[in-house]
Amino acid sequence: MGIVAGLDSSAESTRIVVCDTDTGAVLRQGYAPHPGEPKAADVDPQSWLLSLGEAATGGLLEGVEAIGVSAQQHGVVPLDAQGALVRPALVGNDRRAQVAAAELVESLGGRAAWSEAVGSVPRAGLPVAKLRWLARTEPEQARRVAMVLQPHDWLVWQLLGRPVRRTTDRGAASGTGYWSARTGAYRPDLVELALGHQAMLPEVLGPAEPAGTTPEGLLISAGTGETMAAALGLGLGAGDAVVSLGASGSVMAVHHEALAEPGGAITSFADATGMHLPVVSTSNAVRALRGTAEMLGLDSLEELSALALKSTPGASGLVLLPYLEGERTPNLPHTAGTLSGLRRESMKPEHLARAAFEGMLCALADAMDVLRGRGVEVRRVFLLGAAAALPAVQALAPALFGARVVVPQPADYAALGAARQAAWALGVARGTLAPTAPPAWQGAAAQVLEPGDDLPVGQSVRQQYVATREQIHPGAFAG
């Protein structure tokens, strides 16, 4: 038995779990918020270290032999030739680079060219777009940038005492817009296209490779981004997909190869085990539920859920296409939502409530079908987000997705994934684990929901939704 720690430095806080290396059992936990404005676009990375130090007080890390680091994705920590910070870090939720992203798409010849090059199309959140924004709006600072790190890269570098060697992992690298999960290589020309000059990039480590050892003998694993760490913490494997229910939505699945899609519908991430995590995102998910609740004068989504369950499958013919903020999948950025099938008998609050849940889940099923259409197998669907606990979501999701649905209990899955990675790297270093598979920790505690006898009914609801979508947006998924 040994002890490892996983720390997750999210956009707002640091969470640490200390785990048994053999079972993954959580022995101790720590938490601290980041100082400063939590939604700021520019952040001093030292705040992450301050939060880490506060979360680890009280002897939390006593006896720990290895640490794994998970952190917010898509941030940019720009360093000069001496390793000093050029400017505050640009964090992942910064949306100032929308115009810069569009410029990059055009500069390389369109969405298909980017998808083929690196498996993703530039958007405001990606580091490649942030570098372009920096070059356009802060040219003096941009010229000083000699090394580009992401938040987890920077934290690992700090924990190791700022060595000459700087590292990252496949997962975080695949979210930059200048590293390809398909080829396993950087595209330095894309960094130059964005920044205006070449910059040093961190070495990309394999899943079980350590980033280094501290002077005290503490092993630091490669680390990864939050999405990849959470997948590792949940214990995802081939045949598993994750549906994230936020204001917007996403469908992510474990697959054996990187996928490129000419229209950019699929973002090709790498995971933290050597597999891949193709992702398809939607612009609308829970925001459609909240909008419907407001329209009906309800105070909560729980009330909307209870009302929806008073209706029947198909919502008496009412169909909501939930494209309230335009839509990314299908690619309809300037469209609006549509409510179809209005008849006298369907004009009741419970039918509108049910149509909102069916529309949200059918839109996510559309996104899942993009992956299935590229050969991705989906046997289990993990539902994440607060809305996953709503009874209407749990009642409808298995039949609409056509798969077993798993609703994990709330836990610090990104920190758990970081700890599991640390245990893996430690085991490989000691010769007790193979570099081909992470330690077999107990899976997430969860509620499991089966499609059951209502699968045919669910598929009829999907057909009703698809027929309406094709009538209003014919060929939206063509090609």
pLDDT value, residue 458: 94
409 Cα distance to chain centroid: 18
Q: What is the reported pLDDT for 39?
A: 73
Model pLDDT, residue 479: 57
Nearest Cα to Cα of residue 442 among 21, 41, 72: 21
Per-residue confidence (pLDDT) for residue 245, from 0 to 100: 97
Beta bridge pairs of residue 324: 326
End-to-end CA separation in angstroms for the chain: 53
User: What average pLDDT score do residues 71-88 get?
Assistant: 97
Query: What tokens appear for 18 in the block?
Result: 């200390």
- The predicted-structure confidence for 244-286, as pLDDT tens digits, reads as follows 999 999 999 999 999 988 888 999 999 999 999 999 999 999 9
Angle between the N-to-C axes of helices 391-401 and 301-308, in degrees from 0 to 180, rounded to the nearest 10: 60
- The mean per-residue pLDDT over the stretch 119-144 comes to 96
Q: For the packed helices 349-372 and 301-308, what is the interaxial angle rounded to 10 degrees?
A: 90
Mean model confidence pLDDT for the chain = 96
Whether the pLDDT of residue 304 is over 90: the answer is yes
Q: Does position 38 have pLDDT exceeding 80, yes or no?
A: no
Q: Is the per-residue pLDDT at 158 higher than 90? A: yes
**What are 410-469's pLDDT values in tens digits?**
999 999 999 999 999 999 999 999 999 999 998 888 999 999 888 999 999 999 999 999
| pLDDT at 249 (0 to 100) | 96
Place of tokens 């758990």: 416
Tell which residue, 255, 124, 131, 296, has the closest CA to residue 199: 131
- Give me the pLDDT at residue 3, please: 98
Burial grade of 88 (CB within 10 A; 0-12, 13-18, 19 or more): middle
Q: Is the pLDDT of residue 95 over 70?
A: yes
Residues 6+ apart with CB under 8 A from 360: 245, 249, 284, 285, 286, 288, 289, 322
Per-residue pLDDT tens for 379-400?
Answer: 999 999 999 999 999 999 999 9
Q: How far is CA 382 from the centre of its chain?
A: 13
pLDDT exceeds 90 at position 303: yes
Report the share of the chain in percent with pLDDT over 70.
100
| % of the chain at pLDDT higher than 90 | 94
pLDDT tens-place string over residues 207-254: 999 999 998 999 999 999 999 999 999 999 999 999 999 999 999 999
For residue 478, is pLDDT > 80?
Answer: no
Model's pTM, two decimal places? 0.94
Domains of the chain: 3-228 (3.30.420.40), 235-408+445-479 (3.30.420.40)
DSSP bridge partners of 448: 406
